[in-house]
Amino acid sequence: MKWTIVIGQFGYLAFIAANLKPIPALMYPASVLVGLGGAVLWTSKNAYVTQIGMLHAESKGKKPETGVTQFFGIFFACFQTSQIWGNLISYLVLQPTAKSKVHNEISTGSVVQRIFIKNVTNLTRKDYQCGAGFNEKDFHSDHSAPVSKNLAFTLCYIYIGLIVASIILIALLLDQRRSKTDSKSSIKAQLKNSLHHVASTFKHLRHLNQILLIPFTLWSGLEQPYITAQFTKGFITCAVGIKYVGLVMIVYGVCDALSSFSFGHIAKYIGRMYCLMFAASINYALIITMLLWVPRENQLWVLFILAGLWGVADGCWQTQIAAAYGTLFTENESAFSNFHLWESLGFVIAYVYTPRIRIRYAHIILLCVLTLSMICYTIIEIRERRKKKKVPEEEPSKSKDDIESTIATAL
């Protein structure tokens, strides 16, 4: 798994490097590479965290689910700080210097902030509406000015340096986790095993719990692009200007990181279901508020609150959904492959409809998917509780070797 994580990062490295000369001949292949790299990176990462979480719980005499949830909380707490550092870097490097009072737009991403600034010079408040009524087609003008090459190169070089540092640190410091059988297997056998895992990803859909988790996984893929794309454009940029996007999203990142760490520990006391209900109630309240509220230029503080609360909910979603996949299924790699398959599909769907519909319709989609997700997960909870009642109260606990063997077989 260690070297899979290392190799997966090269896809991101290629994509960022391609932005130094963003022509179709480079960007399309780089996009394919970052997609492939992201798939193996995140699947391996989740499986790795699940394994060490289970081993830690076993060594402390705790339930495996407790260790997995706690370790995912720690991981996502660290991961979500990238929202802070990424937005801070972008804010410092790309902060607007134009003297004219013009609304600009920048589309942000978690790996490379896509660098487009569009000047809106001939629009008035009557020409477009911020908030739920926002539509990119109304807000954008045909006149656009790219960021200077020096600033774009500076941003790319910073991200390239971070990825290279990450690759070196993981290659040198991360412990290798592999089964005894894998260490003795030939390359041919390992390739055959890899093909088997690809097939098992789709075979995993035979599990009813996996089918029931699909809406939740799609929700995860829909809610993240909403806050980073539609919210930043329709609420922040439209109402108060591009210069505040980075600052508002830093608040989102801080709350997301703190929430991830907190829910990683809270879940072991109150259970996953109550954590998800809490996050769902926050999202319901936020979506309904943003459906009814029209942002104004003097209401910047409201945007900070909305972004912060969305970060709190997202921290819960990321830790608890990942932990659910890690504990509900024994075939960890197949489970996490499905996790990222359906989450990625959610991202694709969101980025397809985002520039084509008004934000209010995106709100309706989010409400429907969230409701379906909660219904499906409630069914999972009922099924799992009934299953536990059928299991004898005193069941021999698995040894460390048994846990390692079970996880390694799936990996």
Q: What is the mean pLDDT of residues 246-261?
A: 90
Residue 248 has pLDDT above 70, yes or no: yes
Q: What is the pLDDT of residues 39-48, one digit of tens each?
A: 788 778 888 8
C-alpha span between 359 and 234 (Å, rounded): 7
One-letter amino acid of 295: P
Overall size of the chain counted in residues: 411
Please report the pLDDT score of residue 140 as a whole number: 55
Average pLDDT, the chain: 79
Q: Which residues 6+ apart lie within 8 Å of 178 measured at CB?
A: 1, 408, 411
Please report the pLDDT score of residue 186 as a whole number: 52
3-state SS assignment for residue 350: helix
Residue 175 zone, left/alpha/beta (φ > 0; ψ -120 to 50; rest): beta
Q: What is the pLDDT of residues 52-64, one digit of tens each?
A: 888 888 888 887 7
Residue 205 has pLDDT above 90, yes or no: no
Q: What is the pLDDT of residues 293-338, one digit of tens each?
A: 999 888 999 999 999 999 999 999 988 998 888 888 877 677 888 8
Residue 100 has pLDDT above 50, yes or no: no
Q: What is the pLDDT of residues 14-25, one digit of tens each?
A: 999 999 988 888
| Angle, helices 332-353/24-59, rounded to nearest 10 degrees | 140
Q: Given pLDDT bands bounded at 50, 70 and 90, which one contains residue 282?
A: very high
Residue 110 has pLDDT above 50, yes or no: no
Q: What is the mean pLDDT of residues 5-13?
A: 91
Token pair recorded at residue 273: 């279901």
44, HSE (Cβ side, Cα atoms, 13 Å) = 20
Q: Given pLDDT bands bounded at 50, 70 and 90, which one contains residue 195?
A: low
Please report the pLDDT score of residue 123 as a whole number: 41
Q: What is the mean pLDDT of residues 59-71?
A: 81
Residue 146 has pLDDT above 60, yes or no: no
> When comparing pLDDT for 277 and 122, which is higher?
277
Please report the pLDDT score of residue 379 as a whole number: 95
Give the chain's domains with CATH numbers. Answer: 2-177+204-410 (1.20.1250)
Please provide the DSSP assignment of 140-207 as one string. Answer: --S---PPPHHHHHHHHHHHHHHHHHHHHHHHHHSPP---HHHHH--HHHHHHHHHHHHHHHHHGGGS
Please report the pLDDT score of residue 376 as a whole number: 95
Q: Given pLDDT bands bounded at 50, 70 and 90, which one contains residue 95?
A: low
Residue 180 has pLDDT above 60, yes or no: no
